[in-house]
Amino acid sequence: MQRNFFIILFVTAICTGNAQTTITGFTPDNAKKEIALEKAFEGKLSANNLDSWMQRMSAEPHWVGTEYGRQNAEWIQKQFKSWGYDTKIETYHVLFPYPKIRILELTAPTTYKAKLTPAAVEGDKYTAQGDALLPSYNAFSKDGDVEAELVFVNYGVPEDYEQLEKLGIDVKGKIVIAKYYGSWRGIKPKLAAEKGAIGCIIYSDPKDDGYVQGDVYPKGPFKNKTGVQRGSVMDMPLYPGDVLTPGYAATKDAKRLKREDAPTLTKIPVLPISYEDAQPLLEALKGQVAPETWRGGLPITYHIGPGPAKVHLKLEFDWQLVPAHNVIATMKGTDFPDQWVLRGNHHDAWVHGASDPVSGMVALMEEARAIGELAKNGEKPKRTLVYCAWDAEEPGLIGSTEWVEDHIKELQEKAVAYINTDGNGRGFLSAGGSHTLQVMVSEVAGTVTDPQKGVSVKERKIAHNRIDGGSDDFEIYAVGSGSDYSPFIQHAGIASLNLGYGGEDSGGEYHTIYDTYPNYKRFKDPDFAYGVALANTAGRIVLRLANADVLPLEFEQWHKTVSSYLDEIMKETDTLRKTVEKHNKMVDSNTFELAADPKEPFVKPEKEEAVPYLDFAPVQNQLASLKSSIDTFESTDKSNLSPEKRNKLNQELMQVEQVLTTEKGLPRRSWYKHQIYAPGFYTGYGVKTLPGVREAIEQKDWKEAQEQITVLAETLERFNRHIESMNTL
Amino acid sequence: MQRNFFIILFVTAICTGNAQTTITGFTPDNAKKEIALEKAFEGKLSANNLDSWMQRMSAEPHWVGTEYGRQNAEWIQKQFKSWGYDTKIETYHVLFPYPKIRILELTAPTTYKAKLTPAAVEGDKYTAQGDALLPSYNAFSKDGDVEAELVFVNYGVPEDYEQLEKLGIDVKGKIVIAKYYGSWRGIKPKLAAEKGAIGCIIYSDPKDDGYVQGDVYPKGPFKNKTGVQRGSVMDMPLYPGDVLTPGYAATKDAKRLKREDAPTLTKIPVLPISYEDAQPLLEALKGQVAPETWRGGLPITYHIGPGPAKVHLKLEFDWQLVPAHNVIATMKGTDFPDQWVLRGNHHDAWVHGASDPVSGMVALMEEARAIGELAKNGEKPKRTLVYCAWDAEEPGLIGSTEWVEDHIKELQEKAVAYINTDGNGRGFLSAGGSHTLQVMVSEVAGTVTDPQKGVSVKERKIAHNRIDGGSDDFEIYAVGSGSDYSPFIQHAGIASLNLGYGGEDSGGEYHTIYDTYPNYKRFKDPDFAYGVALANTAGRIVLRLANADVLPLEFEQWHKTVSSYLDEIMKETDTLRKTVEKHNKMVDSNTFELAADPKEPFVKPEKEEAVPYLDFAPVQNQLASLKSSIDTFESTDKSNLSPEKRNKLNQELMQVEQVLTTEKGLPRRSWYKHQIYAPGFYTGYGVKTLPGVREAIEQKDWKEAQEQITVLAETLERFNRHIESMNTL
């Protein structure tokens, strides 16, 4: 190998923006071809297709197991077939609860029976489909019949329980009512149960996505008083996918856990409700007034309770085994058929799902159609493309997870990367995932024109960052969970991306009966211009990954990012140490008692264990070594490699993300193998970077923190050896 | 003079807290006597007196000019007389508007007539006094009859208008509706008029002091839907006091401005309303949704307008010349009759004023009664005490201002200090004023026991600070305006303090018909323990100032504080410079356009004038010189001074605060003479420290900023010469 060539490419790529003439991973000649190809690709994209396909797919509710869901899958398959793809439907048999009985009533000091029924609205016929609409509920709540005093717990996240403890309020034996937002919803019943609550109600406060945010549907896009967010509450931070087949595919004859043994079902019954139904319950609470930041937008004084409000919650589900139909469409690569570029979006929805997921699905389809046309004209991809339309994402990433678990060996061998999309709307490009792909995504973002402003979507994104006081660079975020990339990156160690536009499309329709085509057309992306932009962005990424001479993974940005995570953790540990020191000093000096209002309940805080100094050196040393091997890698010219060596290098690059996983996975949740990114055990969707170390520190488990530092250092050491071995090619 | 003695005293005082045996300003022998005296004083204080006096004074509404107000003044006079004081009532004749016509109605797109009538509540007979209650209005609004489209302007403060400008919204020719809070109320019509509005409505949003904060009256202390905050809107930052006699006393025959020439009347009509009356108006607004931080607690989407809501506002006042009766009670000093310790609280209220001002007034009276008893037992003060019960504070500090203007020469010669109180309640000591008095107040706070916690009020205050992440030291705040200290410190240059307890007494009764005795007893200070604590605190301060061998002014704390103000201003100037640079760069790079949502109105921001580097050196050099002369002053033993020299030193100390004023006063508002503290021209009550320099910078008037730096440096130079001259005694 010789130095030089790639540096120049890299620098040029960054400087030229829209007028790009070089691309990371391509020789100059092939870059020219690729640029022409992408231009041709872009020319084939049509907004009309997105529009008519959305109307078709979101005409009726199509959650997993429905007839319309099956029809959608078959229709998708048919489309792909017509575009020249090899298609199949891979079906798994997964546990899915349908709500049979839902009763929520206030039984004291007055009575109120929750309506649990959304209103049909004028101008949106889809909201009037009555019994065809899936009743509002939280999937994978256990059955239950409980009655107890009510306690308001704000968002129901860890710091809320810390606050309750300070106020001397215990939820043991109570039913909690929590607001949506503040964490992924599944955390709320999980924590409530850990704290001893026997039931959980979740409601959408108007402050978060109702009238406080803007006019409500149908006048505006926000949640009206009857809207209810459905959603899964399975314990996804433990493992996603079918609850009865952890870590393996839910094939027809798979051995299944008994339902009562499934660890990802909730421990207590949980039901989501509207703010119309929540208000009488909250109004009936007395006791302390909720802290300022807890108060929502209802015209009441928010009290915490417990009681005198008492509620009765009864839930019974029909626990069905339903088929989840994944559509898999393949276009074989001309040169490297065993190197797969994977691209996916789910097709199931809670109700009509115009925005979630259909807006992303139709963009994926239009992209696949255009690539199919190119192929028909002889412009076939060098690597194999695998387009996936997942079923059962909504109840817990089930379709994709079962498929990844089913094909994990082959995937770990053949996958180049997985590109995910989901709902999409008007606004700014947001890209998350593996930081080895940041440079490539940034280059692509520089070539896609923003439909509203005429500059590149990268330029517009950076302008948006700047207004928010953020970075001047194009950066991708670290992924937690929340869509189908999770099994790819976190379980199988496949480099992944999650792409979408948004930020000028806010509303309260998420997982309600109001996520319909008319709503989407009025408030999300009226002319599907951002749907086309998404197809354009993801399609270019797919084409680059498919045709690159050397896979466009880059490690300097990766190193910078991972180093910043370590810095963050070290700083947070120092801050925590100081906070604990200050806290303990204040406990010693009776500061809390002296400052407390004697007319309010007061619980004297206890002294906390001092935060030890952790030895971060093993990770720091590995990052230092990595810096030098990465410098070597990035400054080495790869253009003169023989085809064999280049192929060998690409094979190694395909393994890179897997080197960042460990067989053992994270403590207490071995399904999660990745050592850089994971969803938070107590945040759900929210990412925790360097999760082993970070979560141990956050949980103040110093022994585990030090052990996880070792695990991380070993992971980075393997990663370093992998880079070094590529350097010797 | 010799060094040593005072340092030791000072250090000891700080270290011993409650068990104080030395006091700043006293020789060891006299300190012992003073400690015994204060103990005797404390022993005479009785909560019962406060309770019964409050019932008497707040039995009926007693705003300036009322019969009950006059009776209260005479009754107060009688009490002081019975306690051995020389008393008189000094009456001024001041302009006071009584509301004759108040009409507010929504005229389009629907109609609504504002009720403007508060509800009587069960369990509080005072709220049922009907016509005897002063109708809700803003005193010194001009008469007017206007009709126009409505615009919601948040709090109606400068940054709100900046935001409106960004959103492309102009209030010219409109009527604005602003929330109470965010600034002193008078700023709202002042700014609205400057921006071209023709009328102003102010309402109390439930988020600020209604149901969002807690249960509403009578269930809890917060504002119910009919409550309206009255209050003055005269342009007090220009000058307070009688609007027709700026800078001189409103005696019977004084030459008066014509009302139409009075500069402190509002330029547009303004009316305060309840949230019950505000909701239909706000609900009728369309246009852009208000920014997140603007939204209140009503169950509506807050739109900005303008229109389609249109309102008609008609106001007519009976512009009366009414008598303001100040009660002045004097106890001549035995040793220094021409050195006056002044102590005041107002007695007029908007309605019953149990909290504001009676809770402070009864504490002042009990303090004066106890001191009177001591005097009868032969323990007379060495200096003269002047107790003042002000009338007409509510409409604009009128009683105190006219009195100060009337007696300014004598006051500037004889006043040692002025100690103010106003409303009082359960909670933490808060002390503001001249930082030369900080050490003395801190020592006193160390000797007063908190009625709830048994530690000193100083210790409790520091605990409270710590919880808020604040200072570990006892500090006094800088005063702006809002009570009767203003003419003393800011106009006459008399060292002043403003004292009160609070923080565990919040509610929404301020200036409403609900500020009654039953409300106070339930929610403010049920057993008057903090009323007694206030009497104890202020009384000890009065006694120390009256009996000190050397007046207990201290300059190190003053220097530290003033230096911190300069640092603050310098940092803010640097921050402003960077902000402007960044802003201009973003304008140049089209960042704002690129990030803006094209579906929302967009006004391209203009480039701003670069912030020059100001020469702060003149002030810095003076502060450096001051540091050294203050070091000398504070390390000098004053215990061996001859009586003549000590008296000379005290005379010089009495002049100290005046040296910090200038004859010319602040730019465009010469009534305000003080160069360290002033109410903000655009904040009202809120203080601006080093106001000449700070406000010029905030207004981006760089020429004036540099001129004001010179003025400030010259002031500090005079101050330095004054200290040096004391050092040569």
Q: Tell me: the pLDDT tens digits for B538-549?
A: 999 999 999 999
Please report the pLDDT score of residue B13 as a whole number.
Answer: 40
CB of A587 within 8 Å of a chain B CB? The answer is no
Please report the pLDDT score of residue A471 as a whole number.
Answer: 86
**pLDDT category, A19, cuts 50, 70, 90?**
low
**Cα-Cα-Cα-Cα dihedral sign, residues B338, B344, B347, B348:** positive
Rounded mean pLDDT, B186-214 = 98
Please report the pLDDT score of residue B613 as a whole number.
Answer: 97
Q: Which two tokens stand for residue A97?
A: 């609860």
On the question of pLDDT at A6 being above 70, the answer is no
**pLDDT category, A20, cuts 50, 70, 90?**
low
A412-436: burial string, b at 16+ Cβ within 10 Å, e else: bebbbbbbbbbbbbbbbbebbbbbb
Please report the pLDDT score of residue B11 as a whole number.
Answer: 36
User: How many residues comprise chain A?
Assistant: 729
Alpha carbons A354 and A356: distance in angstroms, whole number: 6
On the question of pLDDT at B374 being above 50, the answer is yes
CB of A18 within 8 Å of a chain B CB? The answer is no
Tell me: ipTM over 0.90.
Answer: yes
For A463, the closest of B206, B455, B595 (CB atoms) is: B595
Q: Closest Cα partner for B223 from B208, B240, B238?
A: B208
Alpha carbons A498 and A432: distance in angstroms, whole number: 5
- In the block, residue with structure tokens 């005293």: B9
What are the chain B neighbours of A215 within 8 Å (beta carbons)?
289, 301
- In the block, residue with structure tokens 């040793």: B335
Q: Which two tokens stand for residue B643?
A: 């009586």
- Contact between A429 and A459 under an 8 Å Cβ cutoff? The reply is no
Please report the pLDDT score of residue B1 as a whole number.
Answer: 39
What are the chain B neighbours of A216 within 8 Å (beta carbons)?
301
Read off the pLDDT of residues B469-521 as tens digits, 9 standing for 90 and up: 888 899 999 999 999 999 999 999 999 999 999 999 999 999 999 999 999 99
Alpha carbons A84 and A375: distance in angstroms, whole number: 8
What are the chain B neighbours of A599 within 8 Å (beta carbons)?
504
Min Cα distance B32 → chain A (Å) is 29
CB of A211 within 8 Å of a chain B CB? The answer is yes
Question: Are residues A594 and B299, on separate chains, in Cβ contact within 8 Å?
Answer: no
CB of A470 within 8 Å of a chain B CB? The answer is no
Mean residue pLDDT across chain B: 95
If phi > 0 it is left, if psi is from -120 to 50 it is alpha, else beta; for residue A528 that is left
Min Cα distance B586 → chain A (Å) is 8
Q: Which residue of B has its CA nearest to A459?
A: B594
Please report the pLDDT score of residue B449 as a whole number.
Answer: 98
What are the chain B neighbours of A213 within 8 Å (beta carbons)?
289, 301
Contacts A–B by Cβ distance under 8 A: 89
Question: Are residues A213 and B299, on separate chains, in Cβ contact within 8 Å?
Answer: no
Alpha carbons B685 and B680: distance in angstroms, whole number: 7
Q: Which residue of A has its CA nearest to B209?
A: A301
A533-570: burial string, b at 16+ Cβ within 10 Å, e else: bbbbbbbbbbbbbbbbbbbbbbbbbbbebbbebbeebb
Rounded mean pLDDT, B284-309 = 97
Read off the pLDDT of residues B17-66 as tens digits, 9 standing for 90 and up: 445 678 999 999 999 999 999 999 999 999 999 999 999 999 999 999 99
Read off the pLDDT of residues B87-127 as tens digits, 9 standing for 90 and up: 999 999 999 999 999 999 999 999 999 999 999 999 999 99
Read off the pLDDT of residues A381-426 as tens digits, 9 standing for 90 and up: 999 999 999 999 999 999 999 999 999 999 999 999 999 999 999 9
Min Cα distance B213 → chain A (Å) is 7
Alpha carbons B449 and A651: distance in angstroms, whole number: 77
Q: Closest Cα partner for B210 from B236, B181, B185, B239?
A: B181
Out of A368-372, A532-536, B601-605, B690-694, which region has the weakest mean confidence (pLDDT)? B601-605
Alpha carbons B47 and B58: distance in angstroms, whole number: 17
Read off the pLDDT of residues A135-165 as tens digits, 9 standing for 90 and up: 999 999 999 999 999 999 999 999 999 999 9
pTM, to two decimals:
0.94
- Contact between B385 and B414 under an 8 Å Cβ cutoff? The reply is no
What are the chain B neighbours of A222 within 8 Å (beta carbons)?
301
Q: Give B 31-70 residues with CB within 8 A of chain A.
A: none
Please report the pLDDT score of residue B9 as a whole number.
Answer: 39
Q: Which amino acid is at B582?
A: K
A299 contact partners, CB below 8 Å, separation of at least 6: B206, B211, B297, B298, B299
Please report the pLDDT score of residue B729 as a whole number.
Answer: 85
Please report the pLDDT score of residue B19 as a whole number.
Answer: 54
Please report the pLDDT score of residue A4 as a whole number.
Answer: 39
Q: Which two tokens stand for residue B722?
A: 């004054």
Min Cα distance B593 → chain A (Å) is 8
Alpha carbons B216 and B204: distance in angstroms, whole number: 13
Mean residue pLDDT across chain A: 95
Q: Which residue of A has its CA nearest to B456?
A: A594
Provide the 10 A C-beta neighbour count for residue B344: 30
Q: Which residue of B has its CA nearest to A594?
A: B460
What are the chain A neighbours of B504 within 8 Å (beta carbons)?
597, 599
- The domains found in chain B, sorted by start residue, are 5-94+322-547 (3.40.630.10), 97-319 (3.50.30.30), 556-727 (1.20.930.40)
H-only helix segments in B377-421 = 398-406, 408-414
β-pairing, B2-3 vs B636-637, is antiparallel
Distance of CA B220 to the CA centre of its chain: 26
Question: Are residues B467 and A214, on separate chains, in Cβ contact within 8 Å?
Answer: no
Please report the pLDDT score of residue B20 as a whole number.
Answer: 63
Rounded mean pLDDT, A660-679 = 97
Please report the pLDDT score of residue A21 as a whole number.
Answer: 77
**DSSP summary character for residue A294:** G
Alpha carbons B515 and B349: distance in angstroms, whole number: 10
The three-point CA angle A541-A546-A550 to 5° equals 100
Rounded mean pLDDT, A705-719 = 98
Provide the 10 A C-beta neighbour count for residue B405: 25
